């Protein structure tokens, strides 16, 4: 990395410099509040569209979780007694505790990046420990407690959403534009190919990625280049890519879930040059349906990424962070039917092979396409079911909404009909008692069919309380109203929205 710094310093231009941009004012206020030394009980927390934070409301939600009426007396603080009254298997009691914590986490918004440097929360330290102590080769990432610069961040929505946020950051805030993005070992969906200032090119997996990057740098030596690795290159290509990254305007983004010993981040001088995007199946294959992602790398780029994440759709989901943290604290808990859960403790290191932790593009894409937990597929389904409503609207009002309709209609086949049966069906899990429901959740987390059933049950219950909505036009997704509006607007091509002042 030293030689690259000298090169950019000599020319006076850093091709990867980012234009400074301020986060939303409410986000800055929230961050300042979180970092203050004022005791939590003396702070005034800001809520963007959330209900008033009230312990009585939280307790009411926990009673509903237990199947109790809101006014029915139950001490949700005494988990042991609650579990005993439910007849809950002691093995499942930690899962009940997780559900209660998720209710607590659902009230307030998290800081940008999912945690603050003063209070890293449950997940970030676990991930850091995993990368330091549970890999064949340790790699350390700073949580910012002392330096104030974080090299680990959390994002919602899955791999494609993480790339959308990253591409949006580069497209709008990279000083030197346009930039070239060379994709190898994975095929990007169409919506990631249309950023105005990014020249995205798909490379054949059969070619040497190092040779292809070398040729692109020769043709356009003044452009900043990013190579997106969806698989682990050969040892020869890794050595060549390291040399290019140190000598040329090249940055590396890994989306292969490569373990430390196969990541280019382990190479001398590349810690600040390689950005890693990890999905939960990096830790355990049964977590492949979870949509949280871990971003590792350059602190300056991560700070910009976090601001863009907030700008586009808010901060990461608190309950999702709790769930992944729980899975790492309880290895094997979600192993599936016929597999025993292991106690919290030492974990085996992954086998040292070229494929360990780095699934091929085809397998990864197949898993993502099946995963109901994948954020993008949820959004595309929502867009598809919304297309008919947009078409009806365009008949009455001839505006640019018709353009959004045509864009959304392309997704109609993928999303239509998923919940059409909800008009007449009852909650498919309505007859299942809480202990059995927790057992089903523990055994079937990795099963997209189970997630589909769980989502249908939620929407059925929602529709029964809100008959004004058509069930087949509803979709459950993780996040806030801001998240839903952002994703719908992006994928449906909506660029202008009229919002009434309801203050």
Please report which confidence band the pLDDT of residue 425 belongs to, taking 50, 70 and 90 as the band edges.
low
pLDDT for 38 beyond 80: no
Do 408 and 493 contact (CB within 8 A), yes or no? yes
Alpha carbons 459 and 338: distance in angstroms, whole number? 30
Alpha carbons 150 and 306: distance in angstroms, whole number? 11
Alpha carbons 466 and 407: distance in angstroms, whole number? 29
Measured CA distances, 218 to 213, 244, 440 (Å): 9, 11, 56
Q: Any idea where the domains of the chain sit in the sequence?
A: 2-8+14-23+141-316, 361-492
Nearest Cα to Cα of residue 17 among 265, 200, 224: 224
- For 177-210, how does the pLDDT look when each residue is reduced to its tens digit (9 = 90+)? 999 999 999 999 999 999 999 999 999 999 999 9
pLDDT for 472 beyond 70: yes
Q: How wide is the angle at C-alpha 128 spanned by C-alphas 374 and 134, nearest 5°?
A: 95
Measured CA distances, 475 to 37, 375, 386, 415, 440 (Å): 40, 11, 10, 10, 22
Mean pLDDT over 135-145 rounds to 95
Do 253 and 229 contact (CB within 8 A), yes or no? yes
pLDDT for 413 beyond 70: no
pLDDT for 350 beyond 50: no
What local confidence, expressed as pLDDT, does residue 300 receive? 96
Q: Which pTM value belongs to this model? A: 0.78
Angle between helical axes of 209-219 and 235-247 (0-180°, round to 10): 20
Do 31 and 116 contact (CB within 8 A), yes or no? yes
Alpha carbons 471 and 468: distance in angstroms, whole number? 9
Please report which confidence band the pLDDT of residue 384 belongs to, taking 50, 70 and 90 as the band edges.
very low
Reduce the secondary structure of 349-411 to three states and give it as a string. Answer: CCCCCCCCCCCCHHHHHHHHHHCCCCHHHHHHHHHHHHHHHHHHHHHHCCCCHHHHHHHHHCC
Alpha carbons 383 and 387: distance in angstroms, whole number? 6
Across 170-279, where does the E strand assignment appear? 179-184, 198-202, 225-229, 250-254, 274-278
What local confidence, expressed as pLDDT, does residue 218 receive? 96
Nearest Cα to Cα of residue 223 among 158, 155, 291, 175: 175
Instruction: Give the H/E segment covering residue 459.
Output: helix 448-465
What topology is assigned to 2-8+14-23+141-316 in CATH?
3.40.640
Look at residue 9 and give its three-state secondary structure: helix
Instruction: Give the H/E segment covering residue 294.
Output: strand 293-296
* Paired tokens of 364: 């990864």
Look at residue 18 and give its three-state secondary structure: strand
Alpha carbons 485 and 489: distance in angstroms, whole number? 6
Do 291 and 375 contact (CB within 8 A), yes or no? yes
- For 365-381, how does the pLDDT look when each residue is reduced to its tens digit (9 = 90+)? 333 333 333 434 444 44
Which residues fall within 8 angstroms of residue 361, CB to CB, at 6 or more apart? 185, 186, 187, 205, 230, 231
Nearest Cα to Cα of residue 290 among 162, 134, 156: 156
Alpha carbons 433 and 438: distance in angstroms, whole number? 9
Alpha carbons 297 and 157: distance in angstroms, whole number? 19
What local confidence, expressed as pLDDT, does residue 75 receive? 75
Please report which confidence band the pLDDT of residue 29 belongs to, taking 50, 70 and 90 as the band edges.
low
Mean pLDDT over 160-187 rounds to 97
- For 386-398, how does the pLDDT look when each residue is reduced to its tens digit (9 = 90+)? 444 334 434 433 4
Nearest Cα to Cα of residue 360 among 239, 184, 201: 184
178 cis-preceded (ω within 30 degrees of 0): yes
Task: Give the DSSP letter of residue 174.
Answer: B
């Amino acid at each position: 990395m030293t030689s690259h710094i000298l090169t950019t310093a000599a020319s006076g231009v850093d091709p990867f410099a980012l234009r400074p941009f301020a986060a939303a004012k409410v986000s800055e206020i929230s961050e300042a509040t979180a970092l203050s030394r004022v005791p939590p009980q003396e702070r005034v927390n800001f809520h963007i569209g959330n209900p008033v934070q009230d312990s009585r409301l939280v307790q009411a939600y926990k009673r509903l979780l237990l199947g109790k009426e809101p006014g029915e007396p139950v001490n949700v603080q005494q988990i042991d007694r609650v579990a005993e009254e439910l007849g809950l298997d002691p093995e499942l009691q930690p899962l009940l505790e997780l559900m209660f914590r998720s209710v607590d986490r659902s009230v307030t918004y998290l800081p940008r990046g999912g945690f603050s440097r003063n209070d890293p929360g449950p997940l970030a330290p676990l991930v850091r420990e995993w990368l330091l102590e549970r890999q064949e080769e340790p790699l350390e990432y700073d949580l910012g407690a002392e330096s104030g610069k974080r090299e680990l961040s959390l994002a919602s929505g899955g791999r494609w959403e993480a790339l959308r946020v990253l591409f949006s950051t580069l497209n709008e805030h990279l000083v030197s534009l346009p930039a070239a993005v060379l994709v190898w070992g994975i095929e990007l969906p169409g919506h990631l190919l249309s950023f105005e200032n990014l020249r995205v090119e798909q490379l054949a997996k059969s070619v040497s990625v190092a040779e292809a990057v070398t040729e692109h740098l020769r043709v356009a030596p003044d452009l900043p280049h990013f190579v997106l690795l969806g698989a682990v290159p050969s040892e020869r290509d890794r050595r060549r890519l390291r040399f290019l990254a140190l000598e040329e305007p090249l940055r590396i983004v890994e989306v292969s879930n490569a373990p430390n010993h196969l990541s280019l981040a382990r190479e001398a001088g590349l810690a600040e040059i390689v950005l890693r995007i990890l999905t939960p199946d990096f830790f355990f294959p049964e977590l492949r349906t979870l949509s949280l992602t871990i971003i590792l790398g350059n602190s300056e780029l991560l700070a910009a990424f976090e601001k863009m994440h907030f700008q586009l759709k808010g901060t990461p989901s608190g309950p999702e962070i709790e769930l992944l943290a729980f899975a790492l604290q309880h290895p094997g808990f979600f192993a599936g039917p016929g597999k025993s859960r292991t106690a919290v403790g030492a974990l085996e290191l992954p086998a040292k092979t070229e494929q360990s932790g780095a699934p091929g593009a085809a397998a990864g894409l197949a898993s993502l396409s099946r995963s109901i937990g994948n954020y993008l597929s949820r959004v595309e389904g929502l867009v598809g079911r919304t297309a008919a409503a947009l078409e009806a609207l365009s008949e009455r009002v001839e505006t640019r909404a018709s353009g959004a309709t045509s864009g959304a209609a392309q997704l109609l086949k993928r999303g239509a009909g998923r919940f059409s049966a909800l008009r007449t069906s009852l909650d498919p899990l309505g007859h299942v008692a809480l202990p059995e429901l927790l057992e089903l959740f523990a055994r079937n987390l990795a099963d997209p069919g189970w997630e589909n059933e769980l989502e249908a049950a939620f929407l059925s219950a929602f529709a029964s309380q809100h008959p004004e909505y058509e069930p087949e036009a509803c979709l459950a997704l993780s996040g806030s109203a801001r998240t839903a509006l952002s994703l719908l607007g992006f994928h449906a091509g909506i660029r202008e929205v009229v919002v009434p002042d309801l203050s």
